Chains A and B, each alone.
Chain A
Amino acid sequence: MKQKRYLLYSLVLAALLLAALIAIDNSSLKSSMLSTILQKGAIYALVAVSLNLLNGFTGLFSLGQAGFMLLGAYTYAILTIPVEARSSVYQYFNGGLVQFSLPVVVGLIAAGLVAAFFAFLIGLPVLRLKSDYLAIATLGFAEIIRALIQWNTLGPITNGSNILRKFPTYSSLLFPFAVSAVCIGLVVLMIRSSYGRAFKSIREDEIAAEAMGINLAKHKMMAFCTSSFFAGVGGAMLAMFQQSVQAKYFTSAMTYEILLIVVIGGIGSVTGSIISSFLFVACSEWWLRFLDAQHYIGGVKVPLLRSGFRMVVFSIVIMVIVLFYRRGIMGTNEFSWGAIEKFIKAPFGRKAREEERKKVTTPHE
């Protein structure tokens, strides 16, 4: 009964969201800030969930996400630039070595696969390391990838440190949402499967997990490759969103941003990561923008406000969350209708509370 009602709620919510997106897509809002936020938020949500799969669910502290996004973005761009556009993009490398182009969907999957393949390679040595060594090794790996891609000798493939552009992008706002939704859905399925339970047991206690017969190396590698696959897809979508891609932007600062999204949302909560991605992107690109401009109230200049202040406020907020609300928005909980119903009912009268108490005392059927 309850399950059915919640399912209905979810369907209605999904339909409403879809309708809103279609409405924005077909109206003048499409080129507005709102649309930018939504697209970027959807893409960041996917990347944040992929990082959360590692940090939150498997307990592997990885800081290599920007590197895998970079691999995905470049793979997508390199494989899908139309043949006739190659001579202008690869103008310093005689049109480049790759002289074919793949459809968008194949490109996206290839982006994920390449990222996952590199994750496998790097995972062999580094996944044996303990928490902070793993963090610094993956961070270092991302730097190595960035340097490799900018290397002139690989120029015929990667275009060196020059920009890659003219690859196919999406026209509808729905595209990033659809791809992110499918990918996040797959991650959720994985988390709920027996693999997911194995991941969580590794997070809680590696030695106990091993004693229970969980193959540590295999499961860590699985989580690492899966996470990188989706980071790669996310990177490819980021490239589509920006319509161009250049290696120098995929720095460790990008990884830190994604890590902070995960922390704000709650380490170990998929819905938390999704919510906080949209919040983070909206705050940093839109809502807090006013902090960067100079304002005058009644002819008096508002102190402190000038370019860069937004990021200061932002980092202070993040520090406050890290220090005092370590659970983030959602902790390790997921979004559930039950919790919302309870929240709505609770303030209204004693009846709801009594009902609740009765339910606790009577044993389950």
Chain B
Amino acid sequence: MHDFSYYIQLLLAGITVGSLYALIAIGYTMVYGILRLINFAHGDIFMAAGFFMIYISGTTSIYVSLPIVLILTVVLGVAVERAAYRPLREAPRMSVMISAIGVSYLLQNFATYYTGGLARPYPVIPFLTREVTIGSMTVKALTIITPVLTVILVVALVLLIKRTKVGMAMRAVAKDQSTAQLMGIKINNVISITFVIGSFLAAVGSVLYFSNYEQVTPMAGAMPGLKAFVAAVFGGIGSVPGAVLGAYVIGICETFIKANNDYAIFSNAFTFALLILILVLKPNGLFGEKLAEKV
């Protein structure tokens, strides 16, 4: 039998994973709230951020490359929206979703081509990976930094949405695009800002995630992306606190399942079982708003 500190350690690891999913999930939930689109490419933007870091840190120091990576990822996210989603704004939803799957396919294939398809080691970021000792346990610094940073970012984001003019515009667009437009809100700008925020958080998540797993592959974004989406649905799509809560539930449960050898293979399946369960029991998620059916 394992002792108490083993479970504490698992819990800490789960919280870290959950925080990372939360950072990605916010991107999904915000885009879905505004465009009603599952941005399948979001996980791949997260992966691309990982590769940006690898290539840029090869030429300059870590601390210079960090902001460059954040900027590049944001540019990529906005570019994807411009190129692949904006032309289809009036198209049926199925077309936009297919376009999103196409972008995801393109990013994965391009990454495979550019990197040769092999796993690349992620650069070591000293202040994240150094070890700290709490009581009797030794953990990486990022185990502590990740949840703290996540909470700070989420609080900042919630304030942005609730208190600022941009946030008000976002909420208006999410509620009703055409009315928002009539009120003088520039929809395209608001959507771009949404993608900026989503990609920025994905980039931050990517730095923390890959510092933890130490390598990046072209497919590295797919699974975390889907799980983050499930987290967003679990919490009620469109709701930022909901997405964060969902991410923690999934991250912690997954870590415990992975730790048990007999059931480790179900760590991914569990997430989807949870998804089906929540969709059946509470289709709007925990904090989701009710959407009236329009005829």
Contact = CB atoms under 8 A, between A and B. Distances in A.
Interface of A: 55, 59, 61, 122, 125-126, 128-129, 131-133, 135-137, 139-141, 143-144, 146-148, 150-153, 161, 207, 252, 256, 259-260, 263, 267, 306-309, 311-312, 314-316, 318-319, 322-323, 326
Contacts of B295: 207
Given A312-B106, A322-B102, A143 B279 contact: no
Given A137-B276, A318-B102, A323-B99, A129 B230 contact: no
Nearest to A149: B265
A136 B266 contact: no
Interface string B87-103: 11001011101110111
A326 B91 contact: yes
Interface string B220-231: 001000100110
Interface string B111-124: 01110110000000
Nearest to A255: B101
Contacts of B113: 306-309, 311-312
B230 to A, nearest CB: 7
B233 interface: yes
Contact of A252 (B88, B95, B222): B222
A322 B101 CA distance: 10
Contacts of A143: 268-269, 272
22 contacts: A133-B233, A133-B283, A135-B38, A135-B97, A140-B273, A140-B275, A146-B269, A150-B265, A152-B262, A152-B265, A161-B265, A256-B101, A260-B98, A308-B114, A308-B117, A311-B113, A314-B109, A315-B106, A315-B109, A315-B110, A323-B88, A326-B95
Given A132-B38, A140-B271, A311-B112, 12 more contacts: A131-B94, A137-B279, A144-B272, A147-B269, A161-B265, A252-B222, A308-B116, A312-B113, A316-B106, A319-B84, A322-B95, A323-B84
B105 interface: yes
A323 B87 contact: yes
A151 B283 CA distance: 29
Instruction: Report the interface size class on chain B.
Output: 35 or more
Nearest to A63: B101
B266 A151 contact: yes
B280 interface: yes
Contact of A140 (B37, B114, B272): B272
Given A136-B275, A144-B273, A322 B99 contact: yes
A267 B91 CA distance: 14
A147 B264 CA distance: 10
B37 to A, nearest CB: 8
Contacts of A59: 94
A136 B94 contact: no
Nearest to A59: B94
B226 A139 contact: yes
Nearest to B38: A132
Interface in B261-295: 262, 265-266, 268-269, 271-273, 275-276, 279-280, 283, 293, 295
A124 to B, nearest CB: 9
B215 to A, nearest CB: 18
A127 B94 CA distance: 16
A308 B110 CA distance: 8
Nearest to A140: B272
B110 A312 contact: yes
Contacts of B275: 136-137, 140
Contact of B99 (A150, A267, A319): A319
A159 B271 CA distance: 24
Given A136-B230, A323-B88, A318 B265 contact: no
Nearest to A122: B276
B98 A322 contact: yes
A315 B105 contact: yes
B94 A55 contact: yes
Contacts of B268: 143, 147
B110 A147 contact: no
B90 to A, nearest CB: 11
Interface centre among B99, B102, B266 (most CB of A within 10 A): B102
A207 B292 CA distance: 14
A137 B273 CA distance: 9
Contacts of B83: 323
A129 B278 CA distance: 12
A141 B222 contact: no
A203 to B, nearest CB: 10
Nearest to B88: A323
The 7 closest A-B pairs by CB, nearest first: A140-B272, A308-B113, A147-B269, A315-B106, A311-B109, A144-B269, A125-B280
A126 B280 CA distance: 7
Given A151-B266, A207-B295, A126 B276 contact: yes
A176 B104 CA distance: 32
Contacts of B105: 256, 260, 315, 318
Nearest to A144: B269
A158 B128 CA distance: 43
Contacts of B110: 312, 315
A129 B279 contact: yes
B50 to A, nearest CB: 18
Contacts of A61: 94, 97
Contact of B112 (A55, A125, A137, A308): A308
Contacts of B87: 323
